[in-house]
């Protein structure tokens, strides 16, 4: 008998030089040319496709009633599939609210799959520059980062957003939605704990007869594992696809202990386990020459059926200091921003915990830039897309803030959102008074 939660579980799943170059002509190995739009956009939308000098695929779109605003979008992931000409088509369709509100669109597939926040930020600036040459003069430039893309956006506005000789920045404001904003040096601590706890509790990733490796490397060098294979191992250990009464006592205990040790809800474990496999492997073997940037040497796990036993046998990994430093340099926010930033996050998002927002707020406060941040929270559990009208409302609020110095409040945004809400667009579920708990309330302390 399959549990109802199982269906939900499956669904859950050279910087400075480039900044200076913003002033000059934009390279493009295949200049954007008119092309078919993804089906379902605003009638009359004009799309262009091309490639930049690094080979990243570009998608530009201009609605018929363009008001001069440009949204440069950064998708999440990081995706492991090789980039292609249609990589960002689904993103344009998902966030078509921007086009309906008169915003033009620019997105890049990025030059290659996988991690690399700084590299992704470079690709984002490249498409921003190319967009203005081919769409027409941009009156206002908004950067939108979704999920892991928000980490890229946070990096871009810190390191690639210097003004040109006329005082004009590539991006005048940033919208960060469901963002991974604690910084990669700590954003994946719960996944480290999940991999370590899984090995102590289930012992099948890797199996005893397979090559052994520190689980923070994701996989052995050159190895691949299909998601179906990983899920088969996970389900054999936990019975998570069965109704609770159909699981064995050992399976019920394993599932509860994995959740307690990692502090990830049971239904969200499969997605995090998969990411802690493929993304950890990408970081270890493509960025760190096989060294671990993550560790759990001093973590004390609690809340399981046998804390003492688990802490005694759980794999202990110490991060390589250079690898950890390189990961932090690649993507940890510093808070050194100069433009308005608005963040949106569903409070029940279990893919990227809402406590990321508390971490980001603290980072900006330490940097003395907290006055440039407004955070808005919604009563939602979705990660990839919040209720539709909030995006156009947030974009308009950011433009007002940047151009007219009208710093919005969550209540202001709710009012804007309510005017756009309806049966065809969705409702606004903003929680004006919500404040997330500190980052350390969500993850096991290091």
In DSSP notation, 303-338 reads: SSS-HHHHHHHS---PPPHHHHHHHHHHH-------
According to DSSP, residue 219 is labeled: S
Q: Residue count of the chain, please give it.
A: 446
CB neighbours of residue 101 within 10 Å: 20
pLDDT beyond 80 at 23: no
pLDDT tens digits, residue range 175-218? Answer: 999 999 999 999 999 999 999 999 999 999 999 999 999 999 99
Secondary structure class of 420 (helix, strand, coil): helix
- In whole angstroms, give the CA distance from residue 179 to residue 181: 5
Residue extents of the structural domains in the chain? 32-183+335-441, 186-328
Q: Give me the pLDDT at residue 423, please.
A: 82
Q: How far apart are CA 139 and CA 104, in angstroms?
A: 11
pLDDT of residue 19: 37
* pLDDT at residue 22 is higher than 90: no
User: pLDDT value at position 13?
Assistant: 40
pLDDT at position 38 over 90: yes
Least confident range of 3-12, 14-23, 44-53, 219-228: 14-23
DSSP per-residue codes, 8-30:
HHHHH--HHHHHHGGGSPPP-SE
**Which 3 state secondary structure label does DSSP give 76?**
coil
Per-residue confidence (pLDDT) for residue 18, from 0 to 100: 36
Residue 249, pLDDT above cutoff 70: yes
Q: Using one digit for the tens of pLDDT, what is the confidence trace for 424-440?
A: 788 999 999 999 999 99
Instruction: List, for residues 136-178, the tens digit of each pLDDT value.
Output: 999 999 999 999 999 999 999 999 999 999 999 999 999 999 9
Helix (H) or strand (E) holding 360: helix 355-367
Are the beta carbons of 241 and 235 closer than 8 angstroms?
yes
Strands 173-177 and 341-346: parallel
**What pLDDT digit, counting tens, does each position of 81-137 carry?**
999 999 999 999 999 999 999 999 999 999 999 999 999 999 999 999 999 999 999
Q: Is the pLDDT of residue 350 over 90?
A: yes
Please state, in angstroms and rounded to a whole number, the distance separating the CA atoms of residues 157 and 152.
Answer: 9
**pLDDT given at position 425:** 84
Q: What share of the chain in percent tops pLDDT 70? A: 94
Instruction: Please report the pLDDT score of residue 296 as a whole number.
Output: 98
Has residue 11 got a pLDDT over 60? no
Q: What is the pLDDT of residues 388-426, one digit of tens each?
A: 899 999 999 999 999 999 999 999 999 999 999 988 788
pLDDT above 70 (res 67): yes
Q: Cα separations (Å) of 218 from 189, 223, 236, 272?
A: 14, 9, 20, 12
Percent of the chain residues past pLDDT 90, beyond the cut: 92
Q: Which fold has domain 32-183+335-441?
A: Rossmann fold (3.40.50)
**What pLDDT score was predicted for residue 12?**
41
């Amino acid at each position: 008998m399959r549990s109802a939660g199982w269906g939900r579980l499956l669904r859950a799943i050279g910087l400075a030089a480039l900044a200076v170059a913003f002033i000059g002509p934009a390279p493009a190995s295949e200049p954007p040319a008119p092309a078919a739009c993804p089906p379902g956009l605003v009638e009359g939308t004009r799309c262009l496709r091309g490639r930049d000098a690094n080979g990243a695929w570009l998608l530009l779109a201009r609605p018929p009633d363009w008001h001069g605003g440009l949204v440069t979008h950064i998708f999440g992931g990081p995706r492991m599939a090789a980039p292609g000409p249609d990589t960002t088509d689904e993103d344009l369709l998902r966030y078509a609210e921007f086009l309906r509100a008169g915003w033009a669109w620019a997105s890049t597939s990025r030059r290659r799959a996988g991690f690399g926040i700084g590299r992704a930020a470079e690709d984002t600036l490249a498409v921003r520059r190319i967009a203005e040459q081919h769409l027409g003069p941009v009156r206002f430039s908004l950067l939108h980062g979704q999920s892991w893309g928000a980490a890229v956006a946070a990096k871009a506005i810190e390191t690639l957003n210097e003004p040109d000789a006329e005082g004009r920045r590539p991006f005048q404001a940033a919208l960060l939605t469901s963002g991974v904003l604690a910084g990669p040096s700590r954003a994946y601590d719960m996944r480290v704990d999940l991999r370590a706890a899984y090995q102590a509790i289930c012992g099948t990733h890797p199996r005893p007869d397979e090559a052994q490796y520190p689980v923070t490397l994701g996989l052995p060098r050159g190895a691949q594992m299909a998601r179906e294979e990983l899920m088969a191992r996970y389900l054999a250990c936990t019975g998570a696809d069965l109704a609770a009464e159909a699981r064995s006592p050992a399976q019920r205990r394993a599932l509860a202990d994995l959740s307690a040790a990692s502090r990830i809800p049971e239904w969200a474990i499969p997605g995090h386990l998969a990411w802690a496999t493929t993304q950890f492997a990408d970081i270890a073997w493509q960025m760190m020459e096989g060294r671990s940037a993550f560790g759990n040497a001093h973590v004390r796990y609690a809340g399981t059926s046998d804390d003492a036993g688990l802490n005694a046998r759980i794999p202990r990994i110490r991060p390589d200091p250079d690898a950890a430093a390189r990961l932090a340099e690649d993507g940890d926010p510093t808070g050194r921003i100069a433009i308005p930033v608005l963040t949106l996050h569903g409070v029940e998002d279990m893919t990227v915990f809402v406590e990321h927002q508390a971490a980001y707020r603290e980072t900006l406060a330490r940097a003395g830039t907290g006055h440039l941040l407004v955070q808005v929270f919604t009563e939602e559990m979705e990660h990839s897309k919040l209720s539709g009208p909030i995006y156009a409302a947030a974009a308009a609020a950011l433009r007002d803030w940047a151009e007219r110095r009208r710093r919005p409040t969550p209540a202001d945004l709710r009012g804007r959102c309510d005017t756009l809400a309806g049966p065809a667009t969705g409702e606004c579920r903003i929680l004006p008074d919500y404040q997330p708990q500190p980052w350390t309330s969500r993850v096991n302390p290091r």
